[in-house]
Amino acid sequence: MLERENKISGVITWIGIINIAAGFILGLVFGRENVGLYSDTYEQIWSVTLLYWAAGFVSGMFFIGISEIIEQLHKINSKLGKEPEEDDLRLLSD
């Protein structure tokens, strides 16, 4: 999964993995609420926690999916053996 031929695809995959991990950690952190009046007593608000987990998972999988699409397009392009034309290179250098 993490062995990518295309560097951009690899970077986007890691962004997706970091996004999922950050969603999990932020769900644990922001899902806690102080309920003690005179003391620091915390409770986990599971609806908020699950919301962060779901959002992190969905957005992370979106990035991983986009990276897989880029990787597959790169493999198709490699199989076709198409070299970039001079016009393509000129547009990229502008």
Place 57 in a pLDDT band, splitting at 50, 70 and 90.
very high
Residue 48 lies in a domain: yes
Residue 88 lies in a domain: yes
Residue 67 burial (CB < 10 Å; 0-12/13-18/19+)? buried
Residue 54 lies in a domain: yes
28: Cα separation from own chain's centroid: 19
Identify the pLDDT of residue 15. 97
Residue 12 lies in a domain: yes
Residue 80 lies in a domain: yes
Q: How many domains does the chain have?
A: 1
pTM confidence score? 0.75
Identify the pLDDT of residue 36. 77
Residue 2 lies in a domain: no
Residue 35 lies in a domain: yes
Q: Which domain holds residue 82?
A: 7-93
3-55 pLDDT, tens per residue? 777 889 999 999 999 999 999 999 999 998 888 777 788 888 999 999 999 99
